[in-house]
Amino acid sequence: MSRIIVKNNGSLSGKVCISGSKNSSLPILAACILTKGKNIISGVPDLSDISTMYSLLESLGVKIDVHKDRVVLDCKNIVHYTTPYELVGKMRGSFLLAGALLSRMGKARISLPGGCPIGTRPVDLHLKGFAAMGADISQGHGYVELSAKKLKGARIYLDFPSVGATENIIMAAALAEGETIIENAAAEPEIVDLTDFLIKQGAKIEGSGSDTIKITGVKELNPTTHKVIPDRIEAGTFIVAFSMTRGYGTIENVNYSHIKPVVAKLSEMGVDIKDNGNNILTINAEHTLRTSDVKTLPFPGFPTDMQAPFTALMSTAKGTGVIVETVFENRFLHIGELNRMGANIRIDGRTSVIEGVNSLSGAKVNAFDLRGGAALVVAGMSAKGETEITGVEHIQRGYENFVEKFAKIGANIVFDKK
């Protein structure tokens, strides 16, 4: 079983360069199949979730050439419309192919993604959108089958501003007949990155980044080139790591406006963060930090993906902090593990109450999900002694060169591959 072993090595310091966003790359790679030619995407991180998306696209007929600085996706021939369970089961983001595939092929047979440790994560809102656009939908044997000769624009109200549902509906609507309006749409930066890409392909989209998005279907889209935005969650994780070890450092390739809610909370806790322009931030946490109260919300609220790293950070800050998780119903699996490291955290429903302790102590812990796993590694950097983290495959899904980047800023961290 592979492990990450972390030993306390004092404060982190130095410079980190943030990779391209995983959550932007996934829908953008899916959207390539809306065109019949070669799209060139740069900034796509080298991660296992991205490899899964490449395998899915290849299984449909896309020819993919991965270069060091760009990926070329030749979507001339899409010959299949089924995404196999073996791949979809690895990553929920695979469902992002539904809208584009339905649009391109007139049908899509997508394995249902199922639940995951952080919640049941249904796809009802995605399906509601496709149905409103005239798709026939049937389910059986673990697959959902979608078909529509020609999708038609519709007015769609989302009960919750789901990121994935918003992306899927936008992709389906880009080539549909007429106008689609998504109300209560998600406004995450990754949505704006996807629509920027689609607009370059020739799509007509207004209002992206707000809660109402209007898509006017066009006859065809053309291949283009695009660079994905920086990963705001990776940036947040590194800022938390500098803060957790009371260190200081510089983060490059980060869009300040994307991480404002995270910066606001860190400032409340006592971390000094300066926006130096040119996508560069400096962080100084060389003093006592206080806990804060946090509620996760859709963008521009505090991101649920930063909840676990913040829990780790607050566990050694001064005072009592409260975190309310409103986006996913079961995103607290890291808390039992943090308590094994000496944290004092209670859970009551969707709320966790964190009593700051002086320090954590290294222990053997397990990562149950991606961000929870990253939180345990960061916690280990400030804990006394050695922390051994298993379940590292979850972390590899979402962080590029995770161990190498931390080692470069002074962490004592080793990846033990078994």
Please give the DSSP secondary-structure letter assigned to residue 330. T
**75 among known catalytic residues:** no
**Residue 192 in the binding site for ligand UD1 (CB under 6 A):** no
With CB atoms as reference, the residue minimizing the distance to ligand UD1 is: 164
Task: Tell me which of 14, 37, 115, 122 binds ligand UD1, using CB under 6 A.
Answer: 122
Q: Which is nearer to ligand UD1, 96 or 289 (CB)?
A: 96
Which amino acid belongs to residue 60?
L
Span from 36-44, 124-132, 172-180, 286-294 in contact with ligand UD1 (CB under 6 A)? 124-132
**Residue 160 in the binding site for ligand UD1 (CB under 6 A):** yes
**Residue 291 in the binding site for ligand UD1 (CB under 6 A):** no
**Residue 377 in the binding site for ligand UD1 (CB under 6 A):** no
**Residue 193 near residue 232 (C-beta atoms within 8 A):** no
For 57, the enclosing helix (H) or strand (E) is helix 48-60
Task: Tell me which of 43, 45, 93, 230 binds ligand UD1, using CB under 6 A.
Answer: 93
**Residue 127 near residue 144 (C-beta atoms within 8 A):** yes
Task: Tell me which of 251, 327, 338, 383 binds ligand UD1, using CB under 6 A.
Answer: 327
Site string for ligand UD1, 9-38 (x = CB under 6 A): --------------x--x------------
Q: Which is nearer to ligand UD1, 159 or 416 (CB)?
A: 159
DSSP 98-115: HHHHHHHHSEEEEE----
Task: Tell me which of 119, 142, 319, 385 binds ligand UD1, using CB under 6 A.
Answer: 119
Q: Which is nearer to ligand UD1, 115 or 319 (CB)?
A: 115
Cβ-count burial 44-67 (b if 16+ within 10 Å, e if not): bbebebbbbbbbbbeebebebeee
Coil, strand or helix at 236: helix
- Opening angle at CA 370, ends 339 and 109, nearest 5: 140
Task: Tell me which of 224, 304, 315, 366 binds ligand UD1, using CB under 6 A.
Answer: 304
Among 126, 134, 128, which Cα is nearest to 106's?
134
Cβ-count burial 329-355 (b if 16+ within 10 Å, e if not): ebbbbbbebbbbbbbebeeeebebebe
Task: Tell me which of 104, 109, 126, 258 binds ligand UD1, using CB under 6 A.
Answer: 126
CB of residue 344 to ligand UD1, shortest distance in Å: 26
Applying CB under 6 A, the residues found at the interface with ligand UD1 are: 23, 26, 92-93, 119, 121-126, 160, 162-165, 190, 304-305, 327-328
**Which residues are part of the catalytic machinery?**
116
